[in-house]
């Protein structure tokens, strides 16, 4: 019986303490709502994206995971830059092949002219 009475008194004290903490939140009142985290794009606008830039991207957590719009924006930018690089590489390889062919052509013609 003494143990039961002790538990009831302890429960009343805990409930009273929680009630006072919630209702008497001090002079500042209830806690203000926290603004949701916003994604700040760390990718450099003045140079191409590097692998270390992509590795450093961290998305803020939303209630269901990540904000899809933030992830889509970053992936779109990375995809566009990769496509641009691929096109540039293809252009340079084409120019290199043309330069090699042009350099090879005079060598092939010289023996014919000498004959």
Among candidate residues 68, 66, 86, 88, the one with its CA nearest the CA of residue 78: 86
- For the chain, what are the domain ranges? 44-115
Q: Residue 90's pLDDT is what?
A: 93
Q: What is the pLDDT of residue 44?
A: 81
Q: In the prediction, which pLDDT does 36 show?
A: 67
More confident residue, 15 or 75: 15
What would the DSSP string read from start to end of 28-47?
T-SPPPPPPP-----S-SSS
Give the pLDDT of residue 26.
59
Cα 13 to the center of its chain, rounded Å: 48
pLDDT tens digit sequence for 13-71: 999 888 877 776 656 666 666 666 777 777 788 888 777 777 777 777 777 777 788 88
Contact 77, 57 (CB under 8 A): no
Instruction: Report the predicted TM-score, pTM, of the whole model to 2 decimal places.
Output: 0.47
């Amino acid at each position: 019986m003494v143990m039961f009475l002790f538990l009831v008194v302890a429960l009343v004290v805990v409930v009273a303490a929680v009630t006072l903490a919630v209702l008497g939140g001090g002079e500042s009142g209830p806690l203000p709502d926290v603004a949701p985290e916003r994604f700040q794009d760390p990718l450099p606008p003045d140079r191409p994206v590097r692998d270390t830039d992509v590795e450093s991207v961290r998305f803020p957590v939303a209630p269901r995971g990540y904000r899809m719009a933030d992830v889509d924006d970053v992936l779109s930018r990375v995809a566009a830059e990769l496509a641009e690089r691929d096109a540039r590489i293809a252009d340079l390889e084409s120019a290199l092949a043309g330069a090699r062919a042009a350099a090879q052509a005079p060598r092939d013609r010289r023996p014919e002219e000498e004959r």
